[in-house]
Amino acid sequence: MNDSASLGQGSAPSQILIVEDHPLVREALRQLLNGQEGLEVVGEAEDGLEGLEMCRRLRPDLVLMDVRMPRMDGVEATRAIKGELPRTVVLMLTALEDPQYMREALKAGAAGYVLKHASHQQIADSVRGTLAGESPLNSTVAMQLLLQLMKDEALTMKAEASTADGEMSTPSPSEKELSTTEASPLLGLLTKREVEVLRLISLGQTNQEIARSLLLSVSTVKGHVRQIISKLGVSDRTQAAIMAVRAGLQHEGLSR
């Protein structure tokens, strides 16, 4: 895997694996991405199981993953790939915007999604942007998905507490502010400024919005985002935001 290319640095092209069960769509995507400077399609798979096997062998920078496929669907394949290769970026390819399915994809480790009917330029830009640490989701969609993930995890924790204690007595992350001590394993990896940037990422802000909020240049924010992704050991901005949500960084008053 080309780590420097995956963050938009270095001269080697970023390596892309396409996982899509329709041959004509695979062919169109291969031609599109191979025609883009700095991108190279290194493999194609027709279902999630084959995609997982090819990831093990090729270790691509990014997997463009269809959602619905035979044998192993996109969410299951994403979960398996991220379990073995956490630095590999997975960008979902879908015909329909299904919020529930997208939440499951994000929880499985996906960076986001791009629509099949998007223009060639939009698809290429989504791939490039995701590799460069930008979000393939617009800020409104990102915020909605992250908030729903918080609710989902709160319900899961309530259910687990109920099963363990016989009653729902343990407060969930949405009901209490996580302490600095609880969040310290995450926060301890980052500088104070990086924590500030990560918190704004978790609120769905773009690099431009973060720059305005913190009175920084956009290039400085991009540098912080790259460092955050690297230090947290995640593949992309979206997964960094999910870690921030789980650490309680969206709650007011959390400080180092």
Query: What does the DSSP assignment read for 131-157?
Result: HTT--SS-HHHHHHHHHHHHHHHHHHH
- pLDDT digits over 172-217, tens only? 333 333 333 344 476 788 999 999 999 999 888 889 999 999 999 9
What pTM does this model have? Answer: 0.76
Among 1-5, 14-18, 142-146, 225-229, where is mean pLDDT lowest? 1-5
The Cα 120–Cα 132 span in angstroms is 18
β-sheet bridge partners, residue 116: none
| Residue of 97 and 223 predicted with greater confidence | 223
Average pLDDT, the chain: 82
C-alpha atoms less than 13 angstroms from C-alpha of 113 in its C-beta half-sphere: 28
Tell me what percent of the residues of the chain surpass a pLDDT of 70. Answer: 75
Contacts of 214 (CB under 8 A, 6+ apart): 193, 196, 197, 200, 221
Which residues have CB under 8 Å from 167's CB, separation 6+? none
Q: First and final CA of the chain: distance in angstroms? A: 34
Structure token pair of residue 35 = 């025609």
The C-alpha atoms of residue 51 and residue 90 are separated, in whole angstroms, by: 11
**Domains defined for the chain, CATH in brackets:** 3-131 (3.40.50.2300), 139-247 (1.10.10.10)
Question: In this predicted model, what pLDDT tens digit does every residue of 24-60 receive, in sequence order?
Answer: 999 999 999 999 999 999 999 999 999 999 999 999 9
Find the helix or strand (DSSP H, E) in which 105 lies.
helix 99-108
